Amino acid sequence: MTIGINKRGRPYFVADIPFENDTKMQLLDEFYRVCSKFDYRDMVALSRTLSVSDRTIRRWKYKETFPRWDIAVDVIDWYKRGKPMNLVQQKDKITTMF
């Protein structure tokens, strides 16, 4: 059985993108590798800093969800800097009453 090749019509362009070096997958792999090493203190510190629930960070750790790209880059950078944290005393905590 022969397969017919359509040679009619105008030629068109296709973007030449090398998909074997997919940077999105590299970022995704790096993010999940970093998150898999988080302990409870890291997850709580991140959740307070990013104003998300600790369940969200836990979902990142177990590869259930992925954050926005800018947050993923910030989390990877924070990990590479050695996971620095600031200790906040209760008396220094800013509270407002309405």
* Residue 91 domain-assigned (yes or no): no
Torsion angle in degrees (nearest 10) through CA of 34, 35, 36, 42: 110
pLDDT score recorded for residue 83: 94
pLDDT computed for residue 84 by the predictor: 93
Helix (H, G, I), strand (E, B) or coil at 30: helix
- The pLDDT tens digits along the chain (98 residues) read 556 566 778 888 888 877 776 788 889 999 999 999 999 999 999 999 999 999 999 999 999 999 999 999 999 999 999 999 988 887 776 665 55
- On whether residue 67 sits in a domain, the answer given is yes
- 66 in a structural domain: yes
pLDDT at 98: 54
Residue 78 tokens, joined: 């924070």
The answer to whether the CB of 32 falls within 8 A of the CB of 11 is no
Which structural domain, as residue segments, surrounds residue 43? 34-83
98 part of a folded domain:
no
Q: Is residue 15 part of a domain?
A: no
Q: What are phi and psi of 35, to 5 degrees?
A: -65, -30
Question: Does a structural domain hold residue 11?
Answer: no
Domain assignment of residue 75, yes or no:
yes
Instruction: Please give the tally of structural domains in the chain.
Output: 1
Residue ranges of E strands in the chain: none
pLDDT of residue 1: 54
The pair of structure tokens assigned to 87 is 């200790």
